[in-house]
């Protein structure tokens, strides 16, 4: 009987000791890593920024077109994930905010017209300033995410530049008009832009001016492409 009593007492003491150690460990963990929502947001921004920079640097070593292609895919997927899978907006935003200055630095390596490169640089500058400001202010994040969907057309623009033919050109044109004309004008302007703060509306004026200039350029190129076969026949 005495042995049984000693065993029971030992079990109770061991259970009490282990429980106390477990509670102490949890308490220490909470004290060491205070993950309040704001701290978690900063960690997510930093981690996303570092991972994005690593991915962009690896793809840039292969080909600058691959860099553009990879960003357009990541940006499109992350923006759609914000709408449908509750991805946090700042995570999606950080992918593009890291990409814009990185791509701008290497833009001279792209063999397009200097005029096209300069409009891209201006577009990147406004996009970076808008995004970086929003990471701090946090008032119009969904406006930025909505604009990231524009990058969907860049996927097909890169494919068209890799393999130029009528089919890839047509797919690019359709995606371009849907995202940068219909989506930006009908959806983004009405749902986000007109309800945004004044400084966002001011920033977006030159941004939209460049967008519509690109729309006009694509339309002009399509008209020229249609005219060329007719000119050959004549």
Q: Render pLDDT for 186-217 as a digit per residue (tens, 0 to 9).
A: 888 877 777 777 777 787 888 889 989 999 99
Taking 60 as the threshold, does the pLDDT of residue 20 lie above it? no
Taking residues 75-98, what's their average pLDDT? 96
pLDDT at 19: 47
116-119 own/partner pairs: CB under 8 Å, 24+ apart = 119/210, 119/213, 119/214
Per-residue confidence at 2, pLDDT binned at 50, 70, 90? very low
Give the span between the Cα atoms of 97 and 126, in whole angstroms: 11
pLDDT at 230: 58
Task: Look at 18-27, 45-54, 176-185 and tell me which has the smallest mean pLDDT.
Answer: 18-27
Taking 50 as the threshold, does the pLDDT of residue 63 lie above it? yes
Per-residue confidence at 29, pLDDT binned at 50, 70, 90? very low
Per-residue confidence at 157, pLDDT binned at 50, 70, 90? very high
Residue 144 · residue 89 · CB < 8 Å: yes
Taking 70 as the threshold, does the pLDDT of residue 17 lie above it? no
- DSSP H or E stretch at residue 171: helix 166-176
Quick one: what percent of the chain has pLDDT higher than 90? 45
The two tokens of residue 22 are 């477990």
Taking 70 as the threshold, does the pLDDT of residue 40 lie above it? yes
Give the span between the Cα atoms of 188 and 79, in whole angstroms: 13
Q: pLDDT averaged over the chain?
A: 82
Taking 60 as the threshold, does the pLDDT of residue 82 lie above it? yes
The two tokens of residue 43 are 């960690």
3-state secondary structure (DSSP) of residue 43 = helix
Quick one: what percent of the chain has pLDDT higher than 70? 80
Taking residues 132-158, what's their average pLDDT? 91
């Amino acid at each position: 009987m005495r042995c049984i009593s000693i065993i029971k007492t030992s079990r109770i003491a061991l259970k009490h000791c282990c429980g106390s150690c477990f509670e102490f460990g949890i308490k220490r963990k909470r004290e060491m890593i205070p993950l309040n929502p704001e701290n978690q947001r900063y960690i997510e921004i930093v981690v996303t920024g570092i991972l994005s920079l690593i991915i962009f640097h690896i793809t840039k070593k292969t080909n600058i077109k691959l860099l553009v292609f990879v960003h357009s895919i990541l940006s499109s997927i992350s923006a759609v994930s914000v709408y449908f899978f509750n991805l946090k907006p700042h995570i999606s935003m950080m992918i593009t905010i890291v990409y814009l200055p990185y791509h701008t630095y290497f833009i001279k390596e792209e063999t397009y017209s200097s005029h096209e490169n300069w409009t891209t640089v201006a577009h990147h500058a406004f996009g970076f300033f808008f995004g970086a400001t929003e990471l701090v202010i946090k008032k119009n994040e969904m406006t930025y995410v909505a604009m990231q969907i524009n990058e969907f057309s860049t996927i097909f623009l890169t494919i068209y530049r890799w393999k130029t033919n009528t089919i890839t050109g047509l797919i690019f044109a359709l995606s371009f008009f849907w995202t940068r004309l219909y989506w930006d004008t009908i959806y983004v302007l009405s749902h986000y832009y007109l309800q945004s703060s004044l400084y966002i509306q001011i920033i977006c004026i030159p941004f939209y001016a460049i967008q519509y200039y690109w729309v006009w350029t694509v339309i002009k190129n399509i008209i020229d492409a249609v005219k060329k076969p007719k000119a050959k026949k004549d």
